[in-house]
Amino acid sequence: MDHTIRWAKKEDCKELGKIHTKSWQMAYKNIIPDEILKRLNPTKRAEYFQNSLEQGTEKTGVIKVDDKIIGFITIGECRDDDYKSETGEIWGMYLLPDYWRQGYGKALISWGIEKLKEKGYRKATLWVLEKSKGPRKFYERMGFIEEGKVNQIEIGKKLNKVRYIKKLI
């Protein structure tokens, strides 16, 4: 499991768009309608990452294996109104499906948590789709606790997402 993790650069955006698209299409199959997943566009996702890197509103770390980017984690200040500035957030974490369940997700989330600690955050939150059983179990193994807050979103149909929290210090 030899890997490196570093902050994303502009030249990574195309790969980030591909990873985000492929991961969504596999992870959310049978949760998000197929017609939505089929329309996902890696180029548009790459543009999103390009813009966010330029604006500096969030930070994205990439994990590389054999000089290939296989996943990423995006972190920043918690966007929820009920948490103050001492709380960071894992905005998203995705790996190429071929690299799932091999320890890379654990390495990536551990790296992200360390970066949040370095920024002085005392807690971290994340949101996950309620029906995403595998990711929910993963976050629980990583020490996150479902806190009971649920938000409804619309991605081709109404879906619930649940919030998890973890004390960092």
Question: Which CATH superfamily does the domain covering 4-121 fall into?
Answer: Gcn5-related N-acetyltransferase (GNAT) (3.40.630.30)
What pLDDT score does 169 carry?
87
* Chain centroid, CA 126 distance in Å: 8
Identify the pLDDT of residue 157. 94
pLDDT at 103 over 90: yes
pLDDT digits (tens, 9 = 90+) for 32-46: 999 999 999 999 999
In the chain, % of residues over pLDDT 70: 99
* pLDDT per residue as tens digits for the range 44-91: 999 999 988 888 767 999 999 999 999 999 999 999 988 877 999 999
- Cα dihedral 68→119→127→3 (10° resolution): 20
How buried is 57 (Cβ within 10 angstroms: 0-12 exposed, 13-18 middle, 19+ buried)? exposed
In 10 A of CB 106, how many CB atoms? Answer: 14
* Residue whose token pair is 């890197």: 53
pLDDT of residue 52: 87
Question: Is 164:145 a contact under the CB 8 Å cutoff?
Answer: yes
Task: Indicate left, alpha or beta for 66 from its phi (over 0: left) and psi (-120 to 50: alpha).
Answer: left
The residue with tokens 């938000």 is: 151
C-beta neighbour count of 87 within 10 angstroms? 19
Are 80 and 86 a contacting pair, CB within 8 Å?
Answer: no
- Name every residue whose Cβ is closer than 8 Å to that of residue 30 and which is 6 or more positions away in sequence: none
Tell me if the pTM is above 0.85: yes
